[in-house]
Structure 1
Amino acid sequence: MKKILLIFLCLCALEAKVVTNTTTKQASGEGSGLSREEAINNAIIEAIGKLNGVSINSIKKSINISTSTNESTNIKDTYSEQINKATKGSADSYEVDSVFEENGKYIANVTIYKTTTTKKYVAPGLKADSRRNISVFNVSHNKIQASLGATLQQKIITELLQSRKFNVLDRDSQGYYDMEKALIKSGDAMSDEVYKLKNVLVTDYILLFNISGLDGEQKKSNLTGKTKLQAEISIDYRVLLFATRQIKYSNTLIEKFTIKNGSLSEDEAIMQKIAHKISSDILNAIYPLKVAEVANEEAVFSQKLDMGESYECFSLGKAITDSYTKETTGHIETKSGNVEITRVTPKISYGKIIEGSIKNGDICRPLSNGGDNGYKVGRDPNYKVNEGGGVKLGW
C-alpha cells in the first residue's frame, strides 16, 4: 500500500499545473507637517520613494489633491487610490503606524505596501534545464530519398529521446499547435490555459541529414530462384550550433545492406540500424559513454545500450592544450578495460567487465571490428569532460 501511495505522489508531482505566486513589498517613511494630513502626506511620499524610486513631485501633487475632504475614512480611501494612480501600480496601500504632535507640528510614520500576484505554467515531467535542446531535419532532395528520410528522421528522434541526453524539439507539426493556440484564445478554454503559451523551447543544436546517394542491384539465386537486393546508401549529416551557426560536427555514413524479402519489418530494421549508427555517432561526440557506477564486477551506464555490444574504456589523465590556440583539447586516455553489455533496462545498462580495472567516470567507446584496437594509450580527444556529466567540445 505504501508503494502504491509513493508512486501516486510521484505521478502527481509530474502533473502540469499553473502555480500562483504572491509577493508583498513594503517600505516605511516618516514625515512632518503643520497638520495631521500634511504629515501623513510627507511620510507617504518618503515611503513610496524608497519602495520604487518613483517621481516624488507627481506623488506629492496627486496626494495633495486628494486631501480636499475632512472625513478621515475618505482621506484614507482616496490616498490609496491616488497612490496607486500616481505610482502606476507600484504601490497600492498604506498603514499609519503613528501620528503625534511635537513642538507645534505633527510627525507621522507610515508603511507602504505593494502586493504582486503572478502565475506561471509548470510543464509536466522532469525539468528541461539539465538537457540540451536539439531539432532534427531531413533535407534530402528527390522524392524517393525524401520519403526514406522521413522514416529515418523519426527513428533518429526516437534514438535521441531514448538516450535521455537531449530535449528533442518538434518543428514539423506547426498546424496542430496553431489549432490549440486558437482554442486557448477563443474564450472557450479556462482562463489559466493562456499560461501554456510563450513556453516554447528554442533549440541549441540543429541536426541536418541528407540521403545523398542511393544505389542497388537486384540478384537472383540460380539455386533457389529467389531474388534479393543489395543496396548502398550514403548519408551526410552535420550538427549546427544555432546561436552562432557554427558547424560543430560533420560526418558521412555509407551503409551496405541486403534486402531479401522486402517486407515492412525488414525495411524497418534496416532504417533502425542506420538511425542507431547516426545517433550513436553524435552522442559519442557530444556525450561519450561514461561509467556511472561499478558494482559486482559490472560497469553501470545511465542509458539504454544494445545487448551484446562491446566497449573499450579509458581513464582520463593529463589535459592537453593546443600549442597555437591555447585551448584545452581534451585529456590523455589510458585504456582501463573492456566491457560487454549483458543487461538492459529502459534507462540503465549493465556491462560485464571482461578485462582490466574499470572505475567510475571512465569513458567508453564501441570496440571496432569486435576486437581490441591494439593500443593502451588512447587518442587525444577534442573534448573536455565536465565534472557534472557531459562533455564540453566548445559546443
Structure 2
Amino acid sequence: MGLKHSLRVLLALLVAAPAATSLAGEMSLRVQAQAATEDAAIDAALMRAVEQVYGLSISSRSERSVSEQRASGYDNARDYSAGEVAVRQDSVTRSAARGLVKSFRVLDSERLGSAHRVELQVKLPTYQTPGLPSDKRRRMVVADFAARQAHYRLPAGELPGALAAERLREAITRAITQSRRLAVLDRAHDRALEDEFARLRSGQVPVAEKARLGQALGADYLLVGSIIELDGAREPRVIRASGERYESTRIAARVHYEVIALATRQVKWADEVVVALDIRDAPEQGVFGLVGNRLARTMLNNIYPLRVVSAAGGQLVLNQGADSIAQGERFEVFNLGETLVDPYTKEPLGKIEQRVGLVEVVRVAPKMAYAELLEGDAAAVQQHAILRPYQAPAGDAPDTTRRESQVETSADGGVRLPFDRR
C-alpha cells in the first residue's frame, strides 16, 4: 500500500465528535479521481476534496508513513468513517494533519483499462468565523511606527522612543477597530497565536475544531508611519482676575503616516496629523489616545466619513460611536449628488456634496451616536448623507457652497476608496 493510501486513512481517522460550537458546520462534496489502483484513486480523491475545501496542496513528497490495518477492498455506496479502521500513526506532516475528512462514501468504482476511477461523497468539517463576513470590509494591518527620537518628554515623564511608538500603534489600532470601518488584522501577537494554533494541530482537540486552521486573512492595506514630534508637559497657570492657580497640560505632536496597497506597494494615501493643545485638564484617553484618535479619524474621514442612518423626529442617528466620536462635537451635513469623473485619468472623483445643515452630537453609544440639528431642516437630510467636522469659527454664516466629495458609494451600498479605480 502506497503513502497516499496511508495518508487517506489518516485523513479519514482525524475525526472526532462534532464541534460543540454553533460556528462549526459540515460540507459534503463529490469528487472523482483516477489512478493505477483503487486505493490510489481513493487517496487522490480524498486529497482533492481537502484541497478544494481548505486550499491545501498536499504533495506526496511531504508525506510520511503510517502503519494501518483494515480489510482490503471497498464496497460501492457504503460509508467509511474513522470507527471502521484501526490505525497507529507513526508520524505525519503538518499539512497532512490539517486535512479533515469526517467520512466518505464510495459512489462508484470501475476499472478503465490500466487505470482505476472512483467517485466519492466526502464530508468535511467547516468553521464560520464570528462577526462580519471577512469579505465585507477592507483589511488593514497597522505596522510598528518608527520613533525618530530615542526619548520623548510627556506629561507623565520621559518615555523611550520604542515604547512611545508601540503605544501609538496600539491607540491607532484601537481607534480604527472601534470605528468598524476596516477589519484590522493582528500582527503583534504572533507567538501567542502560534501557540494556540499548535494546540489545534495537536491531537488534544476534536478534529472538527481544526477547521479553524488555514483561515488567516491577508491585508489589503498596510498603515505605516513615524513620530516626527511628540512633546508634552504640565505647566502651572494663574488666572489673573481671580488669582486661581491650576495646572495646564500642553501637548504638541506631529505624526506622518502612509496607507500602502500591499499587492502593488503603491502609496495610496499620505498625510501628517498635527496636534497642538493647551488644556486645563489632561485628556481622558491620554496623549497617545488623543493622537491615535486624531490620526484614525483624519484617515477614516477621507475614506469612510460619518453617515446618517436615520433622520426621524428631527434627531439624526450616526453610524459611529464609542471613542470615535464625542458628545458636543459639531458636524456639517451634506447630501450627495452626481458623481464626478476626472477628465484625464477617468477616475471617479466622488460625488458633489450639498450642505444642508449643522448638527451637534448629544449622545454617544457603543456603535452609534445621536445628533441634533442646529441649522437646517431635518426633512432635507437624505438617508446616508455624510458629515464633515465643523471647523468654521463661531458666528460665521453657514457654508452653502458646493464642493467635490472624495467618497463614492457603490450600487451595493459599499464605499470605494477615493484612490481606487473602478
Q: TM-score, normalised by structure 2?
A: 0.65
Alpha-carbon distance in structure 2 between the residues aligned to 1:165 and 1:24: 39
Q: Using the TM superposition, give the Cα deviation of residue 16 of structure 1 relative to its aligned residue in structure 2, in angstroms.
A: 5.8
Q: Using the TM superposition, give the Cα deviation of residue 183 of structure 1 relative to its aligned residue in structure 2, in angstroms.
A: 2.3
Larger Rg: 1
AA aligned opposite 2:309: A
Q: Using the TM superposition, give the Cα deviation of residue 328 of structure 1 relative to its aligned residue in structure 2, in angstroms.
A: 1.9
Per-residue CA distance 1:309-362 (angstroms, 9 max, x = gap): 111111222222212112221222211111111122111211112222312121
Alpha-carbon distance in structure 2 between the residues aligned to 1:243 and 1:203: 9
Q: Using the TM superposition, give the Cα deviation of residue 270 of structure 1 relative to its aligned residue in structure 2, in angstroms.
A: 2.9
Are 2:401 and 1:377 equivalent residues in the alignment?
yes
Selected match of 1:327 from 321, 341, 347: 347
Are 2:319 and 1:302 equivalent residues in the alignment?
yes
AA aligned opposite 1:293: S
Alpha-carbon distance in structure 2 between the residues aligned to 1:17 and 1:217: 50
Q: Using the TM superposition, give the Cα deviation of residue 280 of structure 1 relative to its aligned residue in structure 2, in angstroms.
A: 0.8
Q: Using the TM superposition, give the Cα deviation of residue 185 of structure 1 relative to its aligned residue in structure 2, in angstroms.
A: 3.0
Per-residue CA distance 1:53-102 (angstroms, 9 max, x = gap): x68xx799x9xxxxxxxxxxxxxx67859xxxxxxxx9934499xxxxxx
On the 8 A contact 2:407/2:415 being kept in 1, the answer is: no
On the 8 A contact 1:15/1:125 being kept in 2, the answer is: no
**Counterpart position of 2:133:** 127
**Counterpart position of 1:19:** 25
1:217-256 paired onto structure 2 within 5 Å: 230-256=250-276
Per-residue CA distance 1:260-307 (angstroms, 9 max, x = gap): 78xxx7584332222221111111111122211210111211221321
SS of alignment partner, residue 282 of structure 1: helix
Q: Using the TM superposition, give the Cα deviation of residue 221 of structure 1 relative to its aligned residue in structure 2, in angstroms.
A: 5.4
Residue ranges of structure 1 left out of the alignment (5+ in a row): 1-13, 26-50, 63-76, 82-89, 97-111
AA aligned opposite 1:377: T
More helix by share: 1
Q: Using the TM superposition, give the Cα deviation of residue 374 of structure 1 relative to its aligned residue in structure 2, in angstroms.
A: 5.0
On the 8 A contact 2:141/2:185 being kept in 1, the answer is: yes
Q: TM-score, normalised by structure 1?
A: 0.69
Q: Using the TM superposition, give the Cα deviation of residue 132 of structure 1 relative to its aligned residue in structure 2, in angstroms.
A: 1.3
Per-residue CA distance 1:250-269 (angstroms, 9 max, x = gap): 111221234878xxx75843
SS of alignment partner, residue 253 of structure 1: strand
Q: Using the TM superposition, give the Cα deviation of residue 394 of structure 1 relative to its aligned residue in structure 2, in angstroms.
A: 3.6
- Quick one: percent identity of the two aligned structures? 26
Selected match of 2:142 from 133, 136, 144: 136
On the 8 A contact 2:224/2:257 being kept in 1, the answer is: yes
Q: Using the TM superposition, give the Cα deviation of residue 24 of structure 1 relative to its aligned residue in structure 2, in angstroms.
A: 4.7
Counterparts in 2 of 1:339 and 1:266: CA distance versus 1, 3 Å:
closer
Are 2:233 and 1:213 equivalent residues in the alignment?
no
Residue ranges of structure 2 left out of the alignment (5+ in a row): 1-19, 41-72, 78-103, 111-117, 152-159
Alpha-carbon distance in structure 2 between the residues aligned to 1:94 and 1:330: 57
Q: Using the TM superposition, give the Cα deviation of residue 235 of structure 1 relative to its aligned residue in structure 2, in angstroms.
A: 0.8
AA aligned opposite 1:392: L
SS of alignment partner, residue 160 of structure 1: helix
**Counterpart position of 1:149:** 165
**Counterpart position of 1:392:** 417
**Counterpart position of 2:357:** 337
On the 8 A contact 1:206/1:241 being kept in 2, the answer is: yes
Selected match of 1:199 from 215, 240, 253: 215
Per-residue CA distance 1:79-126 (angstroms, 9 max, x = gap): 859xxxxxxxx9934499xxxxxxxxxxxxxxx853121222222333
1:1-395 paired onto structure 2 within 5 Å: 17-24=23-30, 92-94=106-108, 114-141=120-147, 142-143=150-151, 144-215=160-231, 230-258=250-278, 268-304=285-321, 305-356=325-376, 357-369=380-392, 371=394, 375-387=399-411, 388-395=413-420
**Counterpart position of 2:157:** none
**Counterpart position of 1:37:** none
Alpha-carbon distance in structure 2 between the residues aligned to 1:361 and 1:80: 58
Moved over 6 A (4+): 222-227
On the 8 A contact 2:228/2:254 being kept in 1, the answer is: yes
Aligned length: 315
**Counterpart position of 2:98:** none
The root-mean-square deviation of aligned C-alpha atoms, in Å, is: 3.5
